[in-house]
Homo-oligomer: A and B are copies of this chain.
Amino acid sequence: MEHPDLDTTVIDARLAAAKEASYLLARATTAEKDAALERIAGLLRDRTAEIIAANALDLATGRESGLSTGLLDRLALDERRIGALADAVLEVIALTDPIGETVSGRSLPNGVRIDQVRVPLGVVGAIYEARPNVTIDIAVLALKSGNAVVLRGGSAAEQTNRVLVGVLRDALGAAGLPADGVQTVDDFGRAGARHLMQARDYVDVLIPRGSAGLIRAVVDEAKVPVIETGAGVVHMFLDESAREDWAVELVHNAKTQRPSVCNALETLLVHRAAAPRLLPAVLDRLEASGVTIHADERVRTLRPEALPVTDEDWATEHMSLDLSVGIVDSIDDALAHIRRYSTKHTESIVTNDLGNAERFLNEVDAAAVMVNASTRFTDGAEFGFGAEVGISTQKLHARGPMGLPELTSTKWIVRGAGHVRA
């Protein structure tokens, strides 16, 4: 797809329009925002044929340019998928609107009243890959929390996203809210994405969603603050006292229940003293589900046919049915391994030893730290948030699964009666 040279006048006009719209969206009532979401769901169904036609163009271009079948599948929309997208929009309507919530408040000794209330972030920039469902998903979450949104999807989905952005804008307008609350910079290609990442005057936060490579590129290039939703090199440690039945099922569930997501298990560490007791059943269960074991030398004495694990494996988020497995001498060695290779997403211990459970929970530095639970639980829906913006692996602003409140800021409302400072 050819893109025009970047005309910063045009792109800045869009960003400025998003900023202006953000002030109106910030004051929209919950009912007004919900009405817009209902319109979005309705228009997605009404314009299904148009969306599918645009998507067919993207798919054809993708096939020509040799996109993998996996990527083509993520790009593809059909009637069923569009229906599911519309249903997901309706589910967001049911969520509590975080805007206006009083987070804290008190009267100062002099009688001045201070209240910290939730307000939208303002303009949210979203940078993601060629998955058109993300266009609807992130825009709807941003709008429900009173934000304007500027979208930059993968160029392979450009035709589809153009129609979807039209749906979003039309729905806002039809609901009496500013259509300019949804903008795209897709038609400016990479230069547009770069401009978006620098636009501190207009954009309040950037949320990259996608591969580790995309997120790293955004973090490296952005001047706008970024919420990093990161990769998961997720570990499970089977301690000396781990129950065999739990160990077998927890490892199996964490690795195989959905291997392509960030909370799936990538590395299994087993205490030396428990390895002969636990590993045969654990590995049998995994292999029966088609998992490829990448084993260290000590594991290979028990399972000689396993592939040897490499140092690169320990640091890799496979997102496939591959698992790195190692034996460690102690919980200290397990903690040291995790500290070295963890991406600080989710780490879990299986143990019956209270002291070791508490040590692991206290000492491991990650968004979620677990005892005797599958790492697959680190998830907005499982945590009861209803919808998930992503899973933050950074420490500022939000950590772990992010719901609607994580798309907000606060401001202090101060009410006096002529109060001056002494």
Say yes or no for A271: interface residue by CB 8 A criterion: no
- Whether B372 lies near A417 (C-beta < 8 A) is yes
- Whether B108 lies near A382 (C-beta < 8 A) is yes
Quick one: which of B108, B243, B249 contacts A420, CB cutoff 8 A? Answer: B249
- Whether B227 lies near A396 (C-beta < 8 A) is yes
Q: Within 8 Å CB of A419, what residues of B?
A: 372-374, 377
Say yes or no for A416: interface residue by CB 8 A criterion: yes
Q: Within 8 Å CB of A219, what residues of B?
A: 200, 223
Say yes or no for A304: interface residue by CB 8 A criterion: no
Cα(A84)–Cα(B45), bound, Å: 68
- Whether B368 lies near A420 (C-beta < 8 A) is no
The stretch from A54-62, A326-334, A357-365 touching chain B is: A357-365
Cα(A344)–Cα(B255), bound, Å: 47
Say yes or no for A418: interface residue by CB 8 A criterion: yes
Quick one: which of B223, B249, B399 contacts A409, CB cutoff 8 A? Answer: B399
- Whether A396 lies near B250 (C-beta < 8 A) is no
Say yes or no for A413: interface residue by CB 8 A criterion: yes
Copies of the protein in its oligomer: 2
Q: How far is the CB of A242 from chain B (nearest CB, A)?
A: 10
Q: Within 8 Å CB of A227, what residues of B?
A: 396
Cα(A400)–Cα(B89), bound, Å: 34
Say yes or no for A121: interface residue by CB 8 A criterion: yes
Say yes or no for A106: interface residue by CB 8 A criterion: yes
Say yes or no for A384: interface residue by CB 8 A criterion: yes
Cα(A119)–Cα(B367), bound, Å: 10
Interface size in chain A (residues, C-beta < 8 A)? 69
Tell whether A397 pairs with B400 under 8 Å between CB atoms, given A245-B418, A411-B366, A419-B372.
Answer: no
- Whether A409 lies near B421 (C-beta < 8 A) is no
Closest to A415 in B: B371
Q: Within 8 Å CB of A108, what residues of B?
A: 377, 382-384
Q: How far is the CB of A341 from chain B (nearest CB, A)?
A: 13
Say yes or no for A260: interface residue by CB 8 A criterion: no
Q: Within 8 Å CB of A420, what residues of B?
A: 249-250, 252-254, 257, 374, 376
Q: Within 8 Å CB of A382, what residues of B?
A: 108, 421
Q: Within 8 Å CB of A370, what residues of B?
A: 413-416
Say yes or no for A369: interface residue by CB 8 A criterion: yes
Cα(A305)–Cα(B94), bound, Å: 61
Q: Within 8 Å CB of A361, what residues of B?
A: 413
Say yes or no for A378: interface residue by CB 8 A criterion: yes
Q: How far is the CB of A366 from chain B (nearest CB, A)?
A: 7
- Whether B106 lies near A384 (C-beta < 8 A) is yes
Cα(A119)–Cα(B400), bound, Å: 13
Q: Within 8 Å CB of A371, what residues of B?
A: 414-416
Cα(A412)–Cα(B368), bound, Å: 4
Other A-B pairs beyond A122-B365, A373-B416, 18, CB < 8 Å: A23-B363, A23-B365, A27-B363, A108-B383, A112-B377, A204-B395, A225-B396, A246-B417, A249-B418, A250-B420, A254-B420, A257-B421, A367-B412, A370-B416, A373-B419, A374-B416, A374-B420, A399-B412
A-B interface, 4 closest residue pairs, ranked by CB to CB distance from nearest? A373-B416, A253-B420, A246-B418, A395-B409
Binding site for B on A (CB under 8 A): 23, 26-27, 106, 108, 112, 114, 116, 119, 121-122, 200, 204-205, 219-220, 223, 225-227, 243, 245-246, 249-250, 252-254, 257, 339, 348, 361-363, 365-374, 376-378, 382-384, 394-397, 399-400, 409-421
